[in-house]
Structure 1
Amino acid sequence: MDNTLAAAVPNHAHLGVAIGRLLMAVLFLVSGLLKITHLAAVTAMLAGLGMPFAHGVAPLVAMFETAGGLSLALGWQTRRVALALALFVVPATLMFHSFWNADAATYSNQLNHFLKNVAIFGALLMVASSSPTSQVDKDSR
């Protein structure tokens, strides 16, 4: 694009970053709140997978996802929270969506979830590396 055209087209990148951040927030808020409201089932699922201390891990995961989603939605500590969530997504993906161990009936579903989480990881890295889009983050620097 030549400089004249680039100057004439408004740059709405900040709007895209804000919308992307809010959509990531919704994902983690809903996931965390569902874990809170179905904590017994989440605990049983984790215990069934051999997770040590499932009774302690389940509420921590639920609170982490909920707090992370809320932080992203409010724009508070956006970079740190996005990085923390990205680091959380990696082991969760490897533990719960190991398509390489799946049988033929669940292979496609697990592969789709694995790839979705890879995309979520990438989106969180983009959020973490973008400039703060909230006055809350700007004030905390």
Structure 2
Amino acid sequence: MSSQVLNILGRVLIAALFIPAGLSKITGFEGTVDYIASQGLPLPTVAAILAIVVEVGVAAALLFNVKTYWAALILAVFCIVSALGFHQFWAAPAEMAQMQQINFFKNLAIAGGLFLLAANSCTTVRASK
């Protein structure tokens, strides 16, 4: 497969993770705010709005190759913050610890891929100048 096809496929698959998650936060906004509040995070309404903007807006920018470097960095940081805020396996009850650990490291792996995409977008921009 060509690099261009792989690039498009990667963007579609990444967006397929974030955009539906953001849309579900819109349709279940009150539940999203309640869940964020239950995790003890400050300003749950603001956090929910920010999550929606990142998951829908920033992921759409990534999908359509708009400001890819920044979109990938923002999504990577979002994944790391989500891992630390919502998947604290070290503090989870025993019956939840393994699933939280999987989700924690899955978020970190996604962030790693997004960092690679950001780095690749810089290389692509430099090469095309």
Tell me the TM-score range normalised by the shorter chain.
0.7 to 0.9
Q: Higher relative contact order by CA 8 Å / sep ≥ 6: 1 or 2?
A: 1
Aligned to 2:102: 112
- Which contiguous aligned blocks of 4+ residues in structure 1 show a shift greater than 2 angstroms? none
Q: CA RMSD in A?
A: 1.8
Matches within 5 A, 1:4-23: 12-23=2-13
Question: What's the offset of the Cα at 1:25?
Answer: 1.2
Question: What's the offset of the Cα at 1:106?
Answer: 0.5
Aligned to 1:8: none
Q: Secondary structure at the match of 1:51?
A: coil
Question: What's the offset of the Cα at 1:109?
Answer: 0.6
Matched, 1:124 2:111: no
- Structure 2 distance, partners of 1:60, 1:131, is 24
Q: Deviations over 1:68-92 (max 9, x none)?
A: 1111111111111101111121111
8 Å contact 1:25–1:70 — kept in the other structure?
yes
Aligned to 1:49: 39
TM-score normalised by the chain length of structure 1: 0.80
**Rg larger for:** 1
- Structure 1 distance, partners of 2:117, 2:16, is 14
TM-score normalised by the chain length of structure 2: 0.87
State the identity as a percent.
33
More helix by share: 2
